A and B are shown apart, each in its own frame.
Chain A
């Protein structure tokens, strides 16, 4: 899946956006477009959405937040801000990602994309090597040798293995200003005497010399606009021409009256030529450009199919086929059903009018025609029609975007290889399912190998629905990867997770979470539940065992020190099963009203297990058989079966 296609519309009013990282963004301007890129970045993990923050959080989240608070450069036209660590930036291929994104979003055309990418690559390398690592002198030394540059790059790579170097920051900002795509790259090094270097470079540029200053400055000076440094040399700026595009989304934008008149196609239908001529003249004088005519109903239907007018103004009484019949046919055919029909009529009795509306007409214009009324009604219905079409295309677009986000969310599930390893090495059969509701939701399930003797399972559910809940799960996945070293220590892992969530989530957002680690040699299962639904434990015969402790405050509500996380332990015996599920299993109605309660679920599970059927499959099948769809919330299921002796 190409995640670079994942983007969201920026026309959603700010007030309607979900709160997310709000406090990270004080004084930061256009914060909804910021991206954090930190340690352990996989190339395909990076995706952009301008509507929300995207975040691949590193180990030093608090440091990043503190830093963000200090950054002062609100820019109205900010397209994106990326805060990245040197280490991740060096690996991530970020310039390509940014270039691709800007092209897809139609900020950047192909003609300038290459220049942009090269300048960005050069600047990012400079920021890491000369800025954060302070290697200017070193590079000169290296470049004396024959394979010096290769050696130099090896040196850079080895330095970036060290945490203190890898975690220094680089901030990349792209914003739109006066038709230019202005870009700045800021490092946190010592800076340098850019004034004298610039002077030399400018002179060289004038002399058309190819000698370089060591920072690629000459090339950028020549190929980009407004190239320069500030912040004592810590920040470089350049610009390339932006693609000429309207700032507001193509889906929802105000339409001028002039545009409507220039582009709308109008079909006039009347058997009286004098009427047609008169209406046509009204319209042309008022600025309309595309007018079609027809003499009767049959002709009207043909013209409508062929030319797809934006509106049809039609007489009722006509030879061959009258207006009512024509309207009926237009509304039946898919190609013409959405075209608004207005009747022009001298018939004033309400029965006639009602018939017209029943057939799908939107309005009546009285005959004899009053010019002002005629033009006003035509315009209003054209505007409505356009708005309707735009809304439709917008909702289509959003639906596609959500679908992509959903796929991304699902891609977080462990792959077959990981599952197979848990079977081969750990004799543990893990099955997972996520049944999506109509919209995005905040469920997260995963299982992974901790070491040769342990595997970890996690199920979390963020409050609320929609994109923000879904994005939280992606973020959770990233944090979990960062917390790998604590994977065998549920208390530490959950505390760290909680602190991360507590620091960044809005007050009404939090996550219920279950985390457990199974020792696949002994069957010891240690776990913590933070308000997650009760995990069910069955023995090899399918009999329900003592319930696992479930109650606990969800993560992200209070600081870890006050959370009182308690580690619980049970011991599994051969062929025991655990079943984890999200709220939707107990909160979904079946055939109208009834919900599955715990006795029902355990009874069902016991029956499935006693018949030696796969538990997850059986539960899912039974659920689908009677659940009222679409679901109100995602349903996540996970079953774990430990079979050391099989």
Chain B
């Protein structure tokens, strides 16, 4: 997992291949530290993600909650139009998050 702070008050989190239970602690800590810097936009980049599980959905909810406390807009980008998007749509996360699929 990498964090990139763009100049325009946007912070991007580039997820690894597996976004699952194993990444829970690292993701949580990362989001908490990002939020202390109060970016206006938080971008979660799914470009590399091949596998997500239910913990990943929990982590997204956590990020959403943290972002909402500082009025930061959150977006999921480069979501693969297959397994990952299906999982997100199954739990209707497309109604909670701004999702952009991979071009």
Contacts and interface: CB of A to CB of B under 8 A. Distances in A.
Interface of A: 442, 461-465, 507-510, 512, 531, 533-534, 550-554, 557, 583, 587, 595, 632-633
Nearest to A597: B83
B9 interface: no
Contact of A531 (B20, B53, B62, B90): B90
Contact of A510 (B20, B28, B53, B58): B58
Contacts of A534: 90
Contact of B58 (A508, A550, A553, A595): A508
Nearest to B92: A553
B54 interface: yes
B52 to A, nearest CB: 9
A554 B65 contact: no
Interface string B67-91: 0000000000000000100000111
A642 B89 CA distance: 31
B43 interface: no
Given A507-B61, A510-B61, A463 B54 contact: yes
B57 interface: yes
A533 B53 CA distance: 12
A464 B24 contact: yes
B61 A557 contact: yes
Given A512-B91, A531-B91, A583 B53 contact: yes
Contacts of A465: 21, 55
B58 A587 contact: no
A508 B61 contact: yes
B59 interface: yes
A552 B93 CA distance: 9
10 contacts: A442-B54, A463-B55, A463-B58, A508-B62, A509-B58, A512-B54, A551-B89, A553-B95, A553-B96, A587-B51
B89 A461 contact: no
Interface residues of B, number: 21
Given A461-B54, A463-B54, A587-B51, A552 B61 contact: no
B54 to A, nearest CB: 5
A74 to B, nearest CB: 26
A588 B28 CA distance: 25
A464 B65 contact: no
Contacts of B96: 553, 557
A534 B55 CA distance: 19
Contacts of A463: 54-55, 57-58
B99 to A, nearest CB: 14
B58 A552 contact: no
The 3 closest A-B pairs by CB, nearest first: A531-B91, A508-B58, A463-B58
A533 B58 contact: no
Given A507-B65, A595-B83, 13 more contacts: A442-B54, A464-B54, A464-B58, A510-B57, A510-B61, A512-B90, A512-B91, A531-B91, A551-B90, A551-B92, A552-B92, A553-B96, A583-B54
A553 B97 CA distance: 12
B55 A553 contact: no
Contacts of A461: 54
Contacts of B61: 507-508, 510, 557
Given A465-B55, A508-B62, A632-B53, A554 B21 contact: no
Nearest to B62: A508
A302 B63 CA distance: 61
Given A507-B65, A508-B59, A587 B53 contact: yes
B92 A531 contact: yes
A534 B89 CA distance: 12
B92 A464 contact: no
Nearest to A589: B51
Contacts of B92: 531, 551-553
A632 B21 CA distance: 9
Nearest to B54: A463
Q: Which of B28, B57, B58, B83 has the most CB of A within 10 A?
A: B58
Contacts of B62: 507-508
A557 B90 CA distance: 14
Contacts of A551: 89-92
A442 B51 CA distance: 19
